[in-house]
Amino acid sequence: MHLVVCAKQIPDPDTPPSAFKIDEATNSVVPAPGISPILSQFDGIAAEAALRIKESQGDDSKVTVISMGADSARAAIKQVLAMGADEGVLLNDDAFEGGDSYTTAKVLAAAINHLGDVDAVFCGRQAADWDMGQVGLLLSEELNWASAIIAKGVEYGDGNISVQRVLTDGFETVSTQLPAVVTVSNEFGEPRYPKLPQIMAAAKKTVTQFGASDLGLDPSDVGASGSRLKVERLYIPETDSNVEFMEGDTPQEQAAALVQKLQADKLI
Amino acid sequence: MAQNILVIGELDDGAASTTTLELLAGASSLSDGGSVGVTLLGAGASSAATSCVGATVAYVNDDSEYDSFRGDQWLNAIAGAVESSSPDVVLIAQSIVGREIGPRLSHRLGTAVAMDCVSISNDGGATKATRPCFGGNAMATYGFETSPAIATVRAKSFEILESGSGPATTEELPGAGESRTAIIATEEATSEGLQIQDAPVVVCGGRGLGEAEAFSQIEEIAAAIGADKAAVGASRAAVDLGWYPPSQQVGLTGKVVTPDLYLAVAVSGASQHMAGCSGSKTIVGINRDEEANIWSFSRYGIIGDYKQIVPALIEELKKAAGN
Amino acid sequence: MTHDATVETSSNTAMTVRPKSSSLLGAWWGPAVWISATGVFAGTRASDIAGRETFFNVAQPWVVYVFLAGLVGLLTFGFVRHASLWMIGRPTDGILKEIPARLRNVGRYGAGQDKVRRDRYAGIMHWCISSSIIVLTVVTAQVALQDDTPLNFLHGNYYLFFSFYGDLFGLIGLIGVGMALYRRYFASHHRIRWDERVEDHLIIVGLGLILVTGFVVESARIIETELVQHPDWAKWSFVSWVLAQGIDSFGFSVSSPENPQSEILALHTWSWWVHVVLAFSWLGLIVFTRLDHLIFAPINAFFLRTDAPGRLAEIKDIEEQEVFGVGHVQDFTWKQLFELDACVRCGRCTEVCPANISGQPLSPMHLIQDLKGHLADVGPDIQMHRHATGDAGREVSPIAMVGDVIKDETLWACRTCGACVQECPVLIEHVPTIVDMRRFLVMNEARLPANAQAALENIEMRGHPWRGTALERTTWMEGLGEVTIFDGTQDYLYWVGCSGSLVERNLPITQSVFKLLRESGASFGVMGQEETCNGDPARRLGNEYLFQILAQQLIETFNSKNVQKVITNCPHCFNTFKNEYPQFDGNFEVLHHTEFLAGALEDGRLKPKYAVTSDVTYHDSCYLGRMNGTYDAPRQIIEMVPGANLVEMQRNLSRGLCCGAGGGNMWQEEIGERRVNHVRTEEAVSTGADQVISNCPFCIQMFEDGVPSIQPEEEGRIKPFDVAELLEAAVFGPKTDSNPTED
């Protein structure tokens, strides 16, 4: 069984708000000094889901991690390799830059087709930078595969993958035939802590790199020139910081003041 | 410039969902005289369509197969509605339906979708969609290179129209076909009583509480405000630590809530959390950290240790309720 | 516990407080030497003809040599058996380096029993027993020499002196045994019951009987040969002389030429046999019981590390290891295995362990005993397997040492505070052994508490353990005017540390230190954004690999910036830079801020002008105190603050109780009855002080968390401050804005 994990390297979402800066001229995030990009947390969880299935299936299964991004994305790939993935693929080409979710899915789909024998793809429920949550589904459309999104549990048996997915007010277990794309949510659980032997094995593994021509993609179909959605403005929202702190020498006085305010505003 | 808009509606116990009505309200103002269509699928769709204020056309099918959402079945039906109404804009709620239909429909129509938008505008015929990103740290406004423009929209982004007429015409969509997905089981979330998204007051506990047991105090605050009014939420940090069930998680990856009063206890106010509650009318913080991010969003605040303040607050709330 | 902390309690009047320097042979053997000298002197004044027949009335004295041969054989057997188990361990580096220091340790801790007396009652008891055993062995050996060699010295004055000190140490031994019996059977001392075994009764009751029968033998001989004949000789054996008169008063028959088989002679014969058989049997217990500490404890003192106690061993060539850390008993060093045999189950480690005090699942004594039992269970099989196959035999043990024998939660409960190591009378080093097993859990098994994992991941990804902080490494600089970034032209690098810059509560501390450094005129700079975790939490949580990467990177950075001297905010950073970076050729002069500030006060570069009228108590952080012996500097600062009145806690200085955060427990959920910081806060509160002063950002955070739980009323709460904050108030006057604890 061949499973693919799609991993994205993103600016650290835990960047302190004061260090989060935007270049409004280019509509891009300015990397915060001293803060390195990281593997999108949901992708780590997706890797965990894939690895658990691999482990339940025995030795002839493998997990390939694919990342589209700059050369620095190798770190994200290595991280998933250290968790136990077998092979890593970096999709790196100037032509891929500046794309949207659609072109990203297109490149990933081309890479998956290039690998050939893939049974299932695992993505995070959304990349924790743009928070769109659509690459997984677009990928399933590109590949014409079934999909199940926002999984909190995934099991495999008899050619079917069953996914417990998170709904607004509960959970629903759906089953679908492979091949399929699954997006995994944080309810699934924390990704594993890599064991040192695997970290060292991962460090020694070579990451295969593909560009547009390797995948048979026309550069004008991908990246900025192929994208259908354009960011026209990126900005930090103003927050109205007019907080009024409750006065009082004791917690009782402060609490009483608050209750009075809330009553006056007819909130309680 | 007039635009034709199609709203992908959802049913809630046989009636059009609140968010569907909100989207219709938004659509009718965006349409600028164009048509507003609404699709409704599942048992009771045709009768629910009559209450869809703001819609000019309804596309319905009463097949109960549609009641459980399966993306491929819905997509086939919706494709029919799109063909018939040739919309410039498609609006879908940011629900389990929108999360799946949005991207898949965009792909089938050769266009793009902006997910989880909080506002949509008609800029002289060009649709602009604005949405939070980078965990709520930033906002992005998108333009579409292709048509139709598709957007999934957060609940409470538009106010429901108080009055108006329902759709003049109703068209029948095909019944549900085959699906690649089988639904094996469903499980209701275990939270009792008031749903957190519906509650006018949400009391939320964060990692700063320090221990799972402290949530009983948060529940006490909610009880003191009123079991019919207040629900309890938790930050993702607290949920990840196992202090409170995931069904009550507020934030980017949990529930997005927009109550009248959001009381955040020992919640630092990380942008990912605020993405789930910044639409609340009034936010009140209780936090020992003078520099906490929560104050940027708060109307009122108490600086101090929740261990002292919460018991006092419960007492005061009970007193107030007694009067 | 024994409340003997007064030994180390400082008073307000004392400027400097040092734990009393540990004495070598002198203090402990002083009485013995003194008595011996007196005896020699007294002996010269007595009759010259005194003497006695050795092996009086014993028909088969050669039997003693049969017993002796048996004992030697048994001891050899026991030693070989033990040694074959130790040998399954890994090599121990540097054990034969620094021999003079090691010999000093043997003198100080082995012969001098320097640690034993940290419990005063036990110290006296143990000295009585051990000195009596040694002296009486010497006494007995002299009898053998007199009898079986051409030497002839047991007569005259020396014989009288010999009689005197033999009896004296017999009596001292009995006092010791009495104290032991009292503690065990009457006072029922709690530690004794933690792991009481049959052998414990055999050892102490046996020793008592040996001493008593010894006196009976001597008395019987005195009745027969001296009481009447040489009463002035008899008095030198003062205990036996009194006992002889007592026995004699019963009117037993004494031998005479007419009546050679008297009752007293029969008593003598019987008691001699009982004495000899008991004595040799008792010595045989060395092989089977904890009495083996008699041999192992002094040897373990020789093996004791000679480097800083705060240093953990590095895993050399970490990338080439088969397994990481210690998950199998044979992966300990043989010294670590040897230590297990030295343990006497005294329970002192467990008594001072902060986890144990708080009802958490760790008892260092039981941990060592469990490992010892496991070694005995599986060691022989591993040894045979090795012999047969030559491989490490990690599959031999049917149970997992880490997980089954030692539970994960036991290992995680350790604060690495070093209290157990500090107290251990036989010099066992529990902390490195625990960390070695953590290393296995983390690096080999990836099995660790979720919060600890999150902290480690955060260090890897973000270079600090404080997940979710909203602060930047430069936030503390706001409002301080110009802050110099270190560029190699300043004397000192002021190392703020992650906790000093990324945790809200610690920002005022960082600012205080900064202002005081500036006021002192020191030439210093900071690293600002370029600071990263120096690896301490990673190392203590068991991720040695991560630690080594971080350490090597930071050493490179320091070297490239020409850093020579470092002042740290945090005792953990201090310990790591000072004691651990030299393992990777990072040699810097490292000062904790309290050391620098105390120096600046002393030479007048800082002048405390404002009174801070307050009763304060001082909490010794483990990594500044126990691990690095810096007890004076912070107290000197407090003494120099006008108006501050220092009230010591019961547990202070080297006995200070950990705040609960050490060893990576800052990032773990505590399991157990209580939280360590609540226990320690209670102790601080009970001094009645208004402020609890410490020197470590973790300790301060733990007190900040603990105080509201111990003192629910906000009124009159004790306030936690760093030494630097206290000094800042004394140098610059009270802060104009609100009280910093109300953050």
What is the span of the domain harbouring residue C112?
31-302
Cα gap C445→A170, rounded to integer Å: 35
* pLDDT tens column, C433-486: 999 999 999 999 999 998 899 999 999 999 999 987 888 999 999 999 999 999
> Does one domain contain both C332 and C278?
no
Which of chain C's residues have a Cβ under 8 Å away from the Cβ of B274?
A: none
Which of chain C's residues have a Cβ under 8 Å away from the Cβ of A55?
A: none
Identify the pLDDT of residue B191: 55
Average pLDDT, whole number, for chain B? Answer: 90
Cα gap B135→C551, rounded to integer Å: 33
Positive or negative, the Cα torsion across B225, B228, B230, B235?
positive
Residue C270 has pLDDT above 60, yes or no: yes
Identify the pLDDT of residue B272: 83
CATH 3.40.50.620 range(s) for chain A read 2-226
Residues 1-20 of B with CB under 8 A from A: none
Identify the pLDDT of residue C736: 58
Identify the pLDDT of residue C34: 66
Q: Which of B253, B312, B319, B260 is nearest to B286 (CA)?
A: B312
CB of A211 within 8 A of CB of A95?
yes
Cβ of A16 under 8 Å from any chain C Cβ?
A: yes
Which residue carries 């350790």 as its tokens? C414
Identify the pLDDT of residue C13: 35
- The ipTM, to two decimals, is 0.91
Cβ of C605 under 8 Å from any chain A Cβ?
A: no
- Mean per-residue pLDDT, C132-139: 92
Residue C653 has pLDDT above 80, yes or no: yes
> Does one domain contain both C443 and C471?
no
Q: Which of A159-163, C5-9, C732-736 has the lowest mean pLDDT?
A: C5-9
Residue C368 sits in a domain of what CATH number? Answer: 1.10.1060
Residue C257 sits in a domain of what CATH number? Answer: 1.20.950.20
Pick B14 or C587 by higher pLDDT.
C587
Q: Is residue C391 part of a domain?
A: yes
Q: Which residues of A236-266 are buried (b: 16+ CB within 10 A; e: fewer)?
A: eeebeeebebbebeebbebbbbbbebbeeee
SS3 of residue C188 by DSSP: coil
> Does one domain contain both C515 and C408?
no
> Does one domain contain both C392 and C288?
no
Identify the pLDDT of residue B305: 87
Question: What angle, 0 to 180 degrees and rounded to 10, lies between the N-to-C axes of helices C156-181 and C198-225?
Answer: 150
**CB–CB of A258 and B284 under 8 A?**
yes
- As given in the structure block, the two tokens for residue C240 are 């036996």
* pLDDT tens column, A104-156: 999 999 999 999 999 999 999 999 899 999 999 999 999 999 999 999 999 99
Which of chain C's residues have a Cβ under 8 Å away from the Cβ of B288?
A: 743
* pLDDT tens column, C538-570: 999 999 999 999 999 999 999 999 999 999 999
Q: Is the pTM of this model over 0.80?
A: yes
Residues 186-215 of B with CB under 8 A from A: 186-189, 195, 197, 201
* pLDDT tens column, B160-209: 888 888 888 999 999 998 888 888 888 876 655 678 888 999 999 998 89
Positive or negative, the Cα torsion across C317, C318, C323, C325?
positive
B285 membership: H or E segment, kind and range = strand B282-287
Residue B13 has pLDDT above 90, yes or no: no
Chain B interface test: which of C471, C478, C504 (most B C-beta within 10 Å): C504
> Does one domain contain both C471 and C435?
no
> Does one domain contain both C442 and C402?
yes
Regarding the domain delimited by A2-226, which CATH topology (the fold level of the hierarchy) does it fall under?
A: Rossmann fold (3.40.50)
Residue C151 has pLDDT above 60, yes or no: yes
**CB–CB of A173 and B185 under 8 A?**
yes
The alpha carbon of residue B169 is apart from the nearest alpha carbon of chain A, in Å, by 32
Q: Is residue C434 part of a domain?
A: yes
* Domains: count for chain C: 3
DSSP label of A15? S
Identify the pLDDT of residue B193: 66
Which of chain B's residues have a Cβ under 8 Å away from the Cβ of C709?
A: 307
Structural domains of chain B in order of their starting residue, each with its CATH number: 5-172 (3.40.50.620), 201-322 (3.40.50.1220)
Which of chain B's residues have a Cβ under 8 Å away from the Cβ of A236?
A: 137-139
SS3 content of chain A, % helix, strand, coil (to 5): 35, 30, 35
Which residues, 6 or more positions from B145, have their beta carbon under 8 angstroms from its beta carbon? A227, A228, A229, A230, B112
> Does one domain contain both C478 and C443?
no
* pLDDT tens column, C3-56: 443 333 333 333 334 444 444 344 455 666 666 666 556 555 545 567 777 777
Average pLDDT, whole number, for chain C? Answer: 90
**CB–CB of C470 and B291 under 8 A?**
yes
Q: How confident is the model at residue C256 (pLDDT cuts 50, 70, 90)?
A: confident
Q: How confident is the model at residue A97 (pLDDT cuts 50, 70, 90)?
A: very high
The DSSP result for B186-212, as a single string, is EEE----SS-TTT-SEEEEE-GGG-SG
Cβ of B290 under 8 Å from any chain A Cβ?
A: no
Identify the pLDDT of residue C49: 66
Q: Which of A9, A25, A37, A10 is nearest to A234 (CA)?
A: A25
Chains with 3 or more CB pairs under 8 A to chain A: B, C
Where are the alpha helices (H) located in C470-542, listed in sequence order? 498-502, 507-519, 536-541
**CB–CB of B308 and C714 under 8 A?**
yes
- Mean per-residue pLDDT, B242-265: 89
Q: Which of A4-8, A62-66, B233-237, C525-529 has the lowest mean pLDDT?
A: B233-237
For residue C669, give Cα distances in angstroms to C354, C413, C451: 15, 10, 7
> Does one domain contain both C281 and C389?
no
Q: Which of B165-169, C133-137, C624-628, C736-740 has the lowest mean pLDDT?
A: C736-740
* pLDDT tens column, C85-120: 999 999 998 899 999 999 999 999 988 899 998 999
Which of chain C's residues have a Cβ under 8 Å away from the Cβ of B308?
A: 708, 712, 714
Residue at which a domain ends, from C272, C302, C332: C302
SS3 of residue C213 by DSSP: helix
The alpha carbon of residue A96 is apart from the nearest alpha carbon of chain B, in Å, by 17
Residue A250 has pLDDT above 70, yes or no: yes
SS3 of residue C692 by DSSP: strand
Which of chain A's residues have a Cβ under 8 Å away from the Cβ of C507?
A: none
> Does one domain contain both C486 and C443?
no
Residue C642 has pLDDT above 90, yes or no: yes
Chain C interface test: which of A21, A43, A196, A254 (most C C-beta within 10 Å): A196
Q: Which of B289-293, C239-243, C592-596, C605-609 has the lowest mean pLDDT?
A: B289-293
